[in-house]
A = this chain, B = another copy of it.
């Protein structure tokens, strides 16, 4: 009603001091005041929404560190503590940006960099090895406010692939760059590189050797292979983040080292916009983790968005339908994190566990690994 008072005062002033020959009758200010009062009543709800969007959106950050056969019985307390500590650090780092008014894309990049820098997760340092004993990493980022996106695939020298993806989004006309070409672009844009030794992790190396040693019988799908595959715990190793910032903008990002022993320049869903990563202020931000091939074929991330946009489903229902029904039907194991523009969260997974967490305005980092907690 602040504006009404000002305009009424102005009209009264004008009526008393007409700047030119005014034809206003004496009752005019009262009538105008009435009209203005009515218009305030009608416009108020819209004004309130606008101001909420502009000033009052409470930031939210959701992260994941990969889904797969993560069982409490096969986890040591030390290992679990270490995982929870990195997830906690990632949430705090990303949220500190949001709480200071930073953008959703800044927050998801920062949250992912923490996990990329930890050897525990299959992204950046600690990425799994390809059949040839190399690290080939993929990453993507998408800005829900303008549908801009960037991604890299098959890069071996980039310290933080998510930062490379962001450079592709912001410093090129392209969306996806692969291999040596992507590395040349990063070099030109001064994206930090590291030598192969930086990415090396003994556990990952041993995983490769144990899978390679059994390769001749890998086609048999023997129990032994399944056990080794499970033991390696790397199949769906991917990290991701989705964020909602104070301006009401969404962003999503995902980063991965792919599959242990992968060959032939295989690329999974992570750097594919619409499959592993998607963000749109109109609907939601999504980052997926799972058996990438199924996630590509099911266009998972955009499917969640489509179910919201075209079928009117809430983010939780849409995400559950895609992960627990459509993916299960197709045979695709994994999960995803999704966040809508109102701060509603979904974190469904059809695997044994998913490293995940979220942080809201109470600034408490909620970290979970198994189905229960």
Contact = CB atoms under 8 A, between A and B. Distances in A.
Interface string A225-252: 0000000000000000000000000000
A261 B90 CA distance: 40
A99 interface: no
A120 to B, nearest CB: 26
Interface in A255-271: 263-268
A181 B273 contact: no
A311 B310 CA distance: 6
Given A179-B179, A293-B174, A263 B185 contact: yes
A175 B262 CA distance: 13
A330 interface: yes
A328 interface: no
A249 to B, nearest CB: 16
A173 interface: yes
Nearest to A180: B265
Q: Which 6 pairs show the lowest CB-CB distances between chains A and B?
A: A181-B265, A310-B310, A306-B306, A274-B299, A185-B264, A181-B264
Given A181-B263, A273-B299, 13 more contacts: A154-B178, A174-B264, A174-B266, A176-B272, A176-B296, A177-B264, A177-B265, A184-B265, A272-B273, A273-B296, A274-B275, A302-B303, A307-B310
28 contacts: A147-B298, A148-B297, A149-B297, A153-B178, A154-B179, A172-B264, A173-B293, A175-B297, A176-B272, A177-B265, A178-B178, A179-B179, A179-B265, A180-B265, A181-B265, A181-B266, A182-B264, A182-B265, A184-B263, A185-B264, A274-B275, A274-B296, A274-B302, A302-B302, A306-B306, A306-B310, A310-B310, A311-B311
